[in-house]
C-alpha cells in the first residue's frame, strides 16, 4: 500500500527535523531504523524517511509544527506492539516515525488521591510497578505489557485481561497532555473525578490511533491494591458451561471477578508443545478451559475458602469438570503463562489468520459453533484456536493452517476467511474489532460496519483536529 498524497521530505526538511531532537535521536540509517519499521509478526514491514526520538514535549511540538508546515506525514509510535499495523509506516518511505520511548518518566503519584501522572513513553509494566510501589493497583494488563507504552494503550484504547472489572484503557484516564497536529500543546493533565464542563476532549484522543494528536502524558486512575488474589484453572465441557460458571462467580464476587478467560483445548496443546516448562494443571483433558481470577479485600484465607466453595459448587452443578486452584503466587503466575503465551505459541504452528471480535456474551456458544462449521467448509483441516476474554464477550478467533499445509497459500485466504467470520459477527450484532483497533488492517472494513452518519462524524473530527491530514494518514480512516 502507498501513501502518495505526501511528497518525500527533502534533505533540508530532514536536517531541520534532526536539529530538533539532535542527530543522535534522528535515525535515517536503514539498520538503525529497521526495528521501528516492522512489527513482531512481520505482517507489516514499511519504510520511512526518518525515525525521530524526541526527548520532551517541546520537541514533539516542534516536530509537528514543522511537519504540518511542510506537509510531512507522521506515524506516531509507542512500544510497537499494536496488532493492526497502525504504528508501522507504509511501504513508500515518505513518512517520518515519531517514537515516544524517550518520554518515559513517571511524573508524580498521589496515593491519597489515587492518581499517577506519567509521560506517554512509560511502559505499561513500569506504570503497574510504580503503582504497586505506592501501595496501589493500576489494573490495565495485557500480554504485551513489558513493551507496550501507556501512550499506545490510550491511543488504541487497549483492553486486556482485567476489563471485566476495571474497564478498558478509556476508563483509566483522568487527564491528558496532547500535541495537536499544528504543534500546539493541550495541557489537559487534570486529576478530577468530576469535571462536567462540556465535551470530554480527552476521550476523543483515546482510541484515535495516532490520527488526531500525539499523546505525551496522562493522569491515570489508581485503585486499592487487593489483599488477596486467587487464580484458578477449570476444565469445562462447553462454552455454555463456562458462561454458567462466570455467572456463578459474579453472583458470589461481583466486580471481584477480575478476569475470566476462555481457551480451547487446542490452545493449551500449543502452549504445552511450545512453551518451555509449561504443564497441564489438570489430570484429564477437557474441550475448554477457563482461567479465573478473583481479587478482593478479604484476607487470603477467607478468599481462598470462598473461591474453593465457588469451585466446589460449580463442579456439583456440572459447570466445571475439574479445577486447579493456585496455592502460591508462583502457581498463579504459571497458570497465567498458559494463557498469555497464546499469542506467541501459535507462531510455531504455521500461518494464523487472526480475528479480534466481540459478540454479546450469551451469543458466544452459538458463534463458536457456527464459526467452526464455516472454517471447516472454507479450509478443510484448518484449526480454529479460539481464546479470549469471555467475560467481555471478546474472542480472539484465530485460525491456524491445516497441519503440513503451505503457509503462504493459507495466509492468502485471510480476507475470505475473515469475511466469513465477520459476517457471523455482524449477524450477532458484534464488533469486528473488540480491542485491537482498526489501524491499517481493518481500515477498509470500517465503512462497512459504521453508518454513513458515523463515518461522517469521524471524518469531521479528523478534518477539525488535523486539517492537513499529516497524522497517521491511511490508518483508521
Ligand atoms: P503501538 O503499537 O506503538 O501503536 C499503536 C497505535 O497507537 C498506532 O496507531 C500508533 O500510531 C498509536 N500511538 C502509539 N503511541 C501514541 C501516542 N503517544 N500518541 C498518539 N498515538 C500513539 N491489545 C489489547 O487491547 N488487549 C490485549 O490483551 C492485547 N494483548 C496483546 C498481546 C501481545 C503478545 C501483543 C504483541 C499485543 C497485544 N495487544 C493487546 C495489542 C497491543 O499491545 C496494544 O494495542 C497496545 O495498547 C499498543 O501499545 P503500543 O505502545 O505498543 O502502541
Ligand atoms: Zn485480548
- Tell me the pLDDT tens digit for each residue of 360-397: 999 999 999 999 999 999 999 999 999 999 999 999 99
Q: Kindly give the distance from the C-alpha atom of residue 469 to the centroid of ligand 2, in angstroms, as a whole number.
A: 30
Using pLDDT thresholds of 50, 70 and 90, give the confidence band for residue 11.
very high
Q: Kindly give the distance from the C-alpha atom of residue 102 to the centroid of ligand 1, in angstroms, as a whole number.
A: 17
Using CB distances shorter than 6 Å, the residues near ligand 1 are 40, 75-83, 86-87, 100, 120, 142-144, 148-149, 151-153, 155-156, 158-160, 209-210, 214-215, 343, 435-436, 439, 472, 475
Q: Kindly give the distance from the C-alpha atom of residue 293 to the centroid of ligand 1, in angstroms, as a whole number.
A: 24
Residue 115: closest CA among 195, 191, 206: 191
Residue 399 is predicted with a pLDDT of 98
Using pLDDT thresholds of 50, 70 and 90, give the confidence band for residue 4.
low
Please state the pTM of the whole predicted model: 0.96
Contacts of 13 (CB under 8 A, 6+ apart): 66, 70, 72
Q: Which atom of ligand 1 is nearest to the CA of 39?
A: 2
The arrangement of strands across the sheet holding 115-119 comes to 106-110, 115-119, 213-221, 173-180, 185-188
Q: Kindly give the distance from the C-alpha atom of residue 207 to the centroid of ligand 1, in angstroms, as a whole number.
A: 10
Residue of the nearest CA to atom 41 in ligand 1? 82
Q: What is the mean pLDDT of the chain?
A: 96
Task: Specify the DSSP class assigned to residue 120.
Answer: T
Long-range contact pairs involving 271-280 (C-beta distance under 8 Å, separation at least 24)? 271/338, 271/341, 271/342, 271/345, 273/345, 273/348, 274/341, 274/344, 274/345, 274/348, 274/349, 275/337, 275/338, 275/341, 275/344, 275/345, 278/334, 278/337, 278/338, 278/341, 279/334
Burial 314-333, CB ≥16 within 10 A → b, else e: beeeebbbbbbbbeeeeebe
Residue of the nearest CA to atom 44 in ligand 1? 82
Q: Which atom of ligand 1 is nearest to the CA of 100?
A: 18
Using pLDDT thresholds of 50, 70 and 90, give the confidence band for residue 5.
confident
Task: Specify the DSSP class assigned to residue 225.
Answer: P
Ligand 1 pocket: which of 155, 216, 343, 472 to mutate (most atoms within 8 A of CB)? 155
Residue 3 is predicted with a pLDDT of 67
Q: What percent of the chain has pLDDT over 90?
A: 97
| DSSP secondary structure of 363-414 | GHHHHHHHHHHHHHHHSTT-EEEEEEEGGGTEEEEEEEPPTT--HHHHHTTH
Instruction: Tell me how far apart the alpha carbons of residues 143 and 89 are, in angstroms, rounded to a whole number.
Output: 24
Query: Is the pLDDT confidence value at 225 over 90?
Result: yes
Ligand nearest to the CA of 83: 1
* Terminal alpha carbon distance of the chain: 14
Q: Compute the CA torsion angle 393, 205, 198, 183 (nearest 10 deg).
A: 180
Residue 389: closest CA among 326, 349, 340: 340
Residue 2 is predicted with a pLDDT of 58
Count of Cβ atoms closer than 10 Å to residue 208 Cβ? 27
Query: Is the pLDDT confidence value at 1 over 60?
Result: no
Query: Is the pLDDT confidence value at 195 over 90?
Result: yes
Instruction: Tell me how far apart the alpha carbons of residues 302 and 25 are, in angstroms, rounded to a whole number.
Output: 53
Amino acid at each position: 500500500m502507498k501513501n502518495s498524497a505526501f511528497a518525500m521530505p527533502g534533505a533540508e526538511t530532514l536536517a531541520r527535523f534532526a536539529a530538533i531532537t539532535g542527530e543522535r535521536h534522528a535515525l535515517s540509517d536503514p539498520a538503525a531504523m529497521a526495528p521501528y519499521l516492522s512489527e513482531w509478526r512481520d505482517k507489516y514491514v514499511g519504510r520511512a524517511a526518518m525515525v525521530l526520538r524526541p526527548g520532551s514535549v517541546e520537541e514533539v511540538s516542534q516536530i509537528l509544527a514543522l511537519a504540518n508546515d511542510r506537509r510531512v506525514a507522521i506515524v506516531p509510535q509507542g512500544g510497537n506492539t499494536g496488532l493492526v499495523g497502525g504504528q508501522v509506516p507504509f511501504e513508500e518511505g515518505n513518512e517520518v516515525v515519531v517514537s515516544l520511548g524517550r518520554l518515559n518518566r513517571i511524573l508524580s503519584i498521589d496515593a491519597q488521591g489515587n492518581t499517577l501522572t506519567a509521560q506517554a513513553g512509560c511502559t505499561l509494566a513500569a506504570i503497574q510497578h510504580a503503582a504497586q510501589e505506592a501501595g496501589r493497583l493500576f489494573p490495565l494488563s495485557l500480554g504485551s505489557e513489558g513493551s507496550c507504552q501507556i501512550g499506545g494503550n490510550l491511543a488504541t484504547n487497549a483492553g486486556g485481561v482485567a476489563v471485566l472489572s476495571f474497564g478498558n484503557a478509556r476508563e483509566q484516564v483522568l487527564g491528558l497532555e496532547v500535541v495537536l497536529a499544528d504543534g500546539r500543546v493541550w495541557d489537559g493533565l487534570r486529576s478530577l473525578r468530576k469535571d462536567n464542563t462540556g465535551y470530554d476532549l480527552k476521550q476523543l484522543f483515546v482510541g484515535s490511533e495516532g490520527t488526531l494528536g500525539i499523546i505525551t502524558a496522562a493522569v491515570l486512575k489508581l485503585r486499592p491494591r487487593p489483599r488477596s488474589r486467587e487464580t484458578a484453572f477449570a476444565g469445562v465441557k462447553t462454552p455454555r458451561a463456562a458462561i454458567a460458571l462466570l455467572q456463578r462467580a459474579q453472583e458470589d464476587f461481583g466486580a471481584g471477578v477480575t478476569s475470566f478467560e476462555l481457551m480451547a483445548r487446542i490452545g493449551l496443546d500449543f502452549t504445552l508443545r511450545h512453551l518451555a516448562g509449561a504443564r497441564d494443571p489438570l489430570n484429564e483433558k477437557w474441550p475448554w478451559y477457563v482461567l479465573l481470577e478473583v481479587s478482593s479485600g478479604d484476607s487470603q484465607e477467607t478468599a481462598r475458602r470462598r473461591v474453593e466453595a465457588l469451585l466446589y459448587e460449580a463442579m456439583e452443578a456440572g459447570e466445571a469438570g475439574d479445577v486447579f486452584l493456585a496455592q502460591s503466587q508462583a502457581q498463579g503466575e504459571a497458570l497465567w503463562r498458559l494463557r498469555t503465551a497464546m499469542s506467541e505459541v501459535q507462531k510455531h504452528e504455521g500461518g494464523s489468520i487472526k480475528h479480534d471480535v466481540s459478540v454479546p456474551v450469551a451469543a458466544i456458544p452459538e458463534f463458536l459453533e457456527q464459526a467452526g462449521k464455516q472454517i471447516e467448509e472454507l479450509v478443510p483441516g484448518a484449526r480454529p484456536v479460539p481464546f479470549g476474554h469471555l467475560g467481555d464477550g471478546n474472542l480472539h478467533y484465530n485460525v491456524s493452517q491445516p497441519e503440513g499445509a503451505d503457509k503462504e497459500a493459507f495466509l492468502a485466504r485471510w480476507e475470505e476467511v475473515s469475511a466469513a467470520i465477520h459476517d457471523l459477527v455482524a449477524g450477532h450484532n458484534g464488533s469486528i474489532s473488540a480491542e485491537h483497533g482498526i489501524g491499517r488492517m481493518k481500515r477498509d472494513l470500517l465503512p462497512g460496519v459504521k453508518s454513513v452518519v458515523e463515518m461522517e462524524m469521524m471524518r469531521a473530527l479528523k478534518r477539525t483536529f488535523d486539517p492537513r491530514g499529516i497524522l497517521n494518514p491511511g490508518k483508521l480512516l
